[in-house]
Amino acid sequence: MTQQEQRPGCFLFVVGRSGSGKDTLLDGARDTLGTAGRFVFARRVITRPADAGGEVHEAVDEATFARRKRDGAFLIDWTAHGLGYGLPTALLDHLIAGRHVIANGSRAVVAALAERVPRLVVVEITAPDAVIAARLSARGRESAANIRERLTRTVPDYPENVEVVRVENDSTPRVGIERLVAAIENATNRLRLRKMPIATGQRALAFIPRDCTVVNAADYLGPGRIDLSAGTRSIRAEVALVEPGLLPPDRVGLSAEVFARFGVAEDTEVVLTRTPTPASRTALRRKIRGEALDEPDYRQVVGDIVEGRYPDSEVAGFLVAADRGLDDDEVLALARVRARFSGKLDWDEPLVADKHSMGGIPGSRITMIVVPLVAAHGLAIPKTSSRAITSAAGTADAMETLARVDLDADDVRRVVKAARGCIAWNGRLNHSVLDDVMNAITRPLGLDSTRWSVASILSKKLAAGATHVAIDLPYGPRARVKGLSEATALARLFERTGKGLGLVVEAFPTDGSAPVGRGVGPALEARDVLWVLEGDPQAPSDLREKALKFASRIVAWDPAVPDLFAARRRVEELLASGAAREALSRIVEAQGARKEPIRPGRLTHTVVATEAGTVTDIDGFTVAGIARVAGAPLDRSAGIDLRARVGDTVAKGDALFVIHAGGASDLDAAAQLAARFSGFSLRPA
C-alpha cells in the first residue's frame, strides 16, 4: 500500500464524568500502546500552570490561548471549569499518515470534532453512580451536595452519526486499563480476512504479514493469543508472521480448519484484539507451586483456559501440578466447575440411574447388559459411553455393531421415553470444550490422574441428569487403578464428591487382573453380550455375574425394592425371562437398528499353546494390542476370541485365542505380533 493509498488513522476521543477514572485509564493505555508507533497520545494545551498537577500538558496563559485559537492552531477547543482546553491542528498530520490519535476530551465538542477528522470514535468511560461517588468523596475536594449535583447533571446526547464505545470502569485499575486498550484495538485493528492454503489441524493459527499496515505485526508474536471478531462471531488464535508478498499488508489469514470454524466469508472486515491477560494467573501459579485452590479459583482458571487465554506451556504446568496432587475439596470444586462446560439434560424422573467404569479391562462390556436389565425393571437409565482411545473397543464401539450411537439430546430423550434406556456415544452429549483443551495436552504428556478423572466423570453424570450412579473400579497390575487399597480410597472419593454434587454414588472395587468375557473387539464383545442376554450356554460366566452385580445395585435404589437380595432376584428373573433381551431390542430399534449387525470378521488365525500347562496370567494390554493390530476398533469386526482363561489347563497345541480380522494384511500383522508374545503366561504341567 503506497503512501497515497494509506488508510487514514482513527481519532479516539476519550470522555467521561469526573470520578469515572478516565485519567488513570488513559495513563495505563499510554504505557501499553505508546511505544507501538501506531498511536499518538495527544498533549492538550490548557490555560493552567504546568505544575498544577494532573495530566502532562502544555501550559499557556489566556492571552496566548486566545491568539492560537484565532490563528487556527487548534483542531478543536472548549472551556470547562474556567479553563481553556485545545487540541493542536497538527494532530491531523498523524491521522493522514495512518496513525491513530487518542485524546482526552469533552463530549460538548463531539459534533464539531466529527466534522473535522476522517473517522471519529468516542470512547466513553463509565462507572456506576455509587463507584463515582466513592471516588469523588475519597478526593476530599467536593462536598456531598456537590457530588450529588454532579451525579444528577444531564448531558447532551451524542450525534447519531458518531460511533460510541463505552468502557465500564467498575473494577480495579488494571481491569479498566485492559478494557480501554481492548476498546482502542477494537476500533483500530480492522483487517480483511483471507483463507490460507495451510492445514494446522485443531491448532488455531492466524497469519499476519510482517509488513502489515494496520498493526505492528511483531508486537503480537509470543505466547499470548489474539481474538478475531466479526459481528457476533469470534475466534481465538495464536499468531504466526508471514513474509511480505504472501498476504496483502491489510489482511489477516487463517488456516483452513480455523477459517471453517470461524464461519465468515473471505474479505470480511474483522477486528483484531489482544487476548486480555488472564485474571486467574495468580491462582494458576499458586497451583503450579503446589498450593490448593478453592472453587472460585478453579472457576477463573478453568474459564480462562477454555477461553484460550493461556499458552499451552502454562496450561501444561497447571495440569502437571493437578496430576501430582488434588485434595478432596479440590476434586469437588473441579467437578462443580467442570459441570458448567457441558450441556445439561433434565428429566422429569425422581430417579435417573447411570453407571460408569474406570475402564482399561478388555472385554468388560457389562454396560450393554446392565442398561437393558435396569430399563426392563422400569428405571430410566440414559447411558452415555465412550469410544476406544487406546483399547480395542469402547462401549459405544460395541453398541454401534447393533445400532446408531451418535445421538443428540433430543434423540436421547426420545429413545428413553420409548425404551427407558439408551446406550449412546458421549461425544455429542457429554462433550466439553474443556476436554478438547485438556486432552490435547494431557495425552501427549501421559498424564492420567485418577483424582482429576473423578471430577470429570461425575461432572458429566451431573450434566447428563443422573441422580444415582454406580461406579466400577477395576484394579490390577495393568488397570488404571493398581491395587485394592487404592481402589477402596478412590471409591470413597467418588462417593464423597457425588454427595457434594447432590448425587447418590456407590463405587465398587472389582478384579481387573484379567480380561472379562471372551470377546475383545466391538463385534466379539457385542456377541458376548447377546449370549448373556439370550441365555446361551457359551455366555461367559464372569461377564454375566459382573453385570448382574451392578444391575442389582442400581435396582436396589428403587424405593419399591426392599433390599439388595430382592434386587438380585428381580434382575435374575428379568434375565431368565427374556425381558432384558427384549429391552435391548427396544433400545436398538429406538436408536436406529443396523440393517445387518456387524459380525466377527471371517478371516481368522488361531494362536495355540506351545507347551502344556496352566494359564496363570493373561496380559490384557497385550491382548488388546493384538486386537488393535487386527483392525479393532475402527474395523468393528476385528478382535480376539479368548478360548482359554486364567486357571484353565491346556495341552500343547490347544487354542489360546482366535484372531478375527476383516483384511488379510491386518490378520497377518496381528498373527506375527502374537507369535512374538501372546500375552498368556503358563505354568508348565
Q: In what order do the strands lie in the sheet with 353-357?
A: 353-357, 468-475, 504-511
Given 227, 243, 274, the domain boundary residue is 274
Given 121, 152, 186, the domain boundary residue is 186
Higher per-residue confidence, 131 vs 544: 544
Domain-embedded: residue 341:
no
How many C-beta atoms surround the C-beta of residue 155 within 10 A?
10
The lowest-confidence range among 77-81, 137-141, 488-492, 598-602 is 137-141
Q: In this structure, are 138 and 229 located in the same domain?
A: no
pLDDT tens track for 536-580? 999 999 999 999 999 999 999 999 999 999 999 999 999 999 999
Domain-embedded: residue 572:
yes
Q: Three-state SS for 293?
A: coil
Q: In this structure, are 143 and 194 located in the same domain?
A: no
Domain-embedded: residue 339:
no
Q: Is the pLDDT of residue 53 over 70?
A: no
What is the band of 4 on the pLDDT scale with cuts at 50, 70, 90? very low
Domain-embedded: residue 620:
yes
Domain-embedded: residue 324:
no
Given 140, 156, 186, the domain boundary residue is 186
pLDDT tens track for 337-351? 888 877 678 898 999
Domain-embedded: residue 342:
no
Domain-embedded: residue 315:
no
Q: In this structure, are 624 and 528 located in the same domain?
A: no
- 416 vs 383: CA distance, rounded Å: 10
CATH number, domain containing residue 367: 3.40.1030.10
Between helix 484-500 and helix 328-339 the angle, nearest 10°, is 50
Report residue 409: phi and psi, to 5°: -60, -40
- 500 vs 281: CA distance, rounded Å: 27
Please, which residues bridge with residue 236 across strands? Answer: 227
- Cα within 13 Å of Cα(152), Cβ side: 6
Q: In this structure, are 405 and 522 located in the same domain?
A: yes
Domain-embedded: residue 343:
no
For 246-270, what is the mean pLDDT? Answer: 90
- 287 vs 320: CA distance, rounded Å: 10
Please, which residues bridge with residue 456 across strands? Answer: none
Q: Is the pLDDT of residue 256 over 80?
A: yes
- 658 vs 312: CA distance, rounded Å: 44
Q: In this structure, are 156 and 202 located in the same domain?
A: no
Q: Domain residues for 638?
A: 603-684
- Cα within 13 Å of Cα(112), Cβ side: 11
What is the band of 232 on the pLDDT scale with cuts at 50, 70, 90? confident
What DSSP string runs through 302-320? Answer: HHHHHTT-S-HHHHHHHHH
- Cα within 13 Å of Cα(263), Cβ side: 6
**What value, to the nearest 5°, has the Cα angle with vertex 322 and ends 316 and 325?**
145
Q: In this structure, are 485 and 623 located in the same domain?
A: no
pLDDT tens track for 432-448? 666 766 766 666 666 66
For 309-326, what is the mean pLDDT? Answer: 81
At 238 the pLDDT is 87
Q: Three-state SS for 102?
A: strand
Q: Residue 416 belongs to what H/E stretch?
A: helix 409-419
Residue closest to 203 by CA, chosen among 243, 170, 235: 235
Q: In this structure, are 551 and 653 located in the same domain?
A: no
In one-letter notation, the amino acid at residue 657 is F
Q: Three-state SS for 438?
A: helix
At 242 the pLDDT is 92
Q: Is the pLDDT of residue 217 over 90?
A: no
Model pTM? 0.69
CATH number, domain containing residue 634: 3.90.1170.30
At 445 the pLDDT is 63
The cell for 560 is 419399591
- Report DSSP state, residue 109: G
Cβ partners under 8 Å of residue 420, min gap 6: 374, 375, 376, 378, 379, 380, 381, 583
Q: In this structure, are 408 and 551 located in the same domain?
A: yes
The cell for 432 is 466439553
Report residue 468: phi and psi, to 5°: -135, 130
pLDDT tens track for 490-541? 999 999 999 999 999 999 999 999 999 999 999 999 999 999 999 999 999 9
What is the band of 679 on the pLDDT scale with cuts at 50, 70, 90? very high
Q: Is the pLDDT of residue 405 over 60?
A: yes
CATH number, domain containing residue 52: 3.40.50.300
- Report DSSP state, residue 77: E
Residue closest to 283 by CA, chosen among 291, 271, 273: 291
**Distances 35 to 29, 90, 211, 303, 419 between C-alpha atoms, Å:** 11, 20, 18, 31, 66
At 2 the pLDDT is 41
Q: In this structure, are 570 and 428 located in the same domain?
A: yes
Q: In this structure, are 163 and 27 located in the same domain?
A: yes
What is the tally of structural domains in the chain?
4
For 270-276, what is the mean pLDDT? Answer: 82
What DSSP string runs through 263-274? Answer: T--TT-EEEEEE
Share of the chain above pLDDT 90, in %: 60
Q: In this structure, are 227 and 145 located in the same domain?
A: no
- 253 vs 242: CA distance, rounded Å: 9
CATH number, domain containing residue 266: 2.40.40.20
Q: In this structure, are 26 and 162 located in the same domain?
A: yes
Inter-residue long-range contacts of 310-314, CB under 8 Å, 24+ positions, other chains counted: 310/278, 310/284, 311/223, 311/224, 311/225, 312/440, 312/441, 313/223, 314/223, 314/284
The cell for 315 is 496450561
How many C-beta atoms surround the C-beta of residue 405 within 10 A?
26
pLDDT tens track for 8-30? 889 999 999 888 888 899 999 99
